[in-house]
Amino acid sequence: MNEMELKYGCNPNQKPSRIYMEDGSDLPVTVLNGKPGYINFLDAFNGWQLVKELKLATGLPAATSFKHVSPAGAAVGLPLDETLAKIYWVDDLGELSPLACAYARARGADRMSSFGDFIALSDVCDADTARLIKREVSDGVIAPGYTEDALEILKAKKKGGYNVIQIDENYVPAELEKKQVYGITFEQGRNELDINGDLLSNIVTNNKEIPEAALIDMKIALITLKYTQSNSVCFVKGGQAIGIGAGQQSRVHCTRLAGMKADNWYLRQAPQVLGLQFLDTVGRADRDNAIDNYIGEEYMDVLAEGAWQKVFKVKPEVFTREEKRAWLDGMQDVTLGSDAFFPFSDNIERARKSGVKYIAQPGGSVRDDLVIECANKYNMAMAFTGIRLFHH
């Protein structure tokens, strides 16, 4: 089959809609369940490319959580410690497979943005991963295959309507890609850039020590950025994106947005948050919202209105600004990637507040010297890749 009709395009008024192979060959995907839409397929195809490249670059199973054609999270399958398992709401599932760990990390980095995500998996979906997916609010998943148990679990999701797509992992797209805007056709060569160690060898700071774990995190950051709507900045730690700032017109706003998300990820691990006692009737999504409110400045209003009684068993103490800053000062060895050069050193100053120690960016700004000087001030190690990674 070389064509698939879709319900509608980006919006219900945009009809007709379809995906098809212009050369007449068969589509490289099979819908095993549900009826994916236009945006679902955009997320699926971008997400698949991301996890396929992460697997090739690291040798580890990879997963991503996509929303509106940008990743909310991306990760490789490293084991979860007790704290991460708790903040990702998977501590009741026992020991998870590496692929399930990858998705737990990808989903857990920014749980609010991942609500209603489309998932991409680098490996055959196993039962552990399917069980994790089933309990989350999600639109669908794409993977190179599914075990019988996993497929049975996923087909039962959303009253049988959950979107399950299988992609041919051996599919190779044409070297040229096209898109139309306003009836005008654009054509370009595919971005086949290989994100590898050679790309990270030009270290321009006084500190030239980048440990192997940070090099892996740099690859994760750059591959994630390769499939994130530009401008974009990505913070990574321990094999997973912890903050992605996408689609901003200003580079520093990307850094601030990504840094804020990274801060929230780390604040969720603070004793004040881990000690919150939720009512048994409060689900995971509502717990996520409550935690974000608790971390945020507006929590004083929630306390004043007595709204805490709808969520918590016990009235939580205020998590003060000073306590939050003290906790965030413990976040260290974070890696930052940028899809284009930093035009000003304000990006480095903001990154420092979120524990950034390692940076990968193209370089090429007329103010590179000031950016390098600022990185040297904080003993950061920064690599210039010489390659921009815009994605539109």
Helix intervals (H) in 5-160: 38-58, 82-87, 98-108, 111-114, 127-134, 148-155
Tokens of 320: 């003060």
CA atoms within a 13 Å half-sphere pointing along the CA-CB vector of 101:
18
- Write down the catalytic residue from 33, 46, 163, 231: 231
Q: DSSP character for 261?
A: H
Alpha-carbon distance 200 to 48, whole Å? Answer: 24
Residue 253 designated active-site = no
Q: Helix (H, G, I), strand (E, B), or coil: what is residue 4?
A: strand
Taking alpha carbons only, the member of 355, 366, 362, 365 closest to residue 382 is 362
Helices (H), 59-97: 82-87
- Kindly name the residue from 68, 86, 155, 158 that is annotated as catalytic: 68
Would you mind telling me the total number of residues written for the chain in this entry?
392
Would you call 68 a catalytic residue per the annotation?
A: yes
Structure tokens at 384: 């210039």
Cα dihedral value 78, 79, 81, 86, nearest 10: 90
Pairing relationship of beta strands 356-361 and 70-76 according to DSSP bridges? unpaired
Active-site residue, selected from the candidate residues 52, 67, 219, 237: 67
Q: Which residues contact 183 (CB under 8 A, 6 or more apart)?
A: none
For residue 311, the SS3 value is coil
Closest CA to 266 of 311, 332, 317: 332
Q: Give me the active site residues, please.
A: 67-68, 231, 392
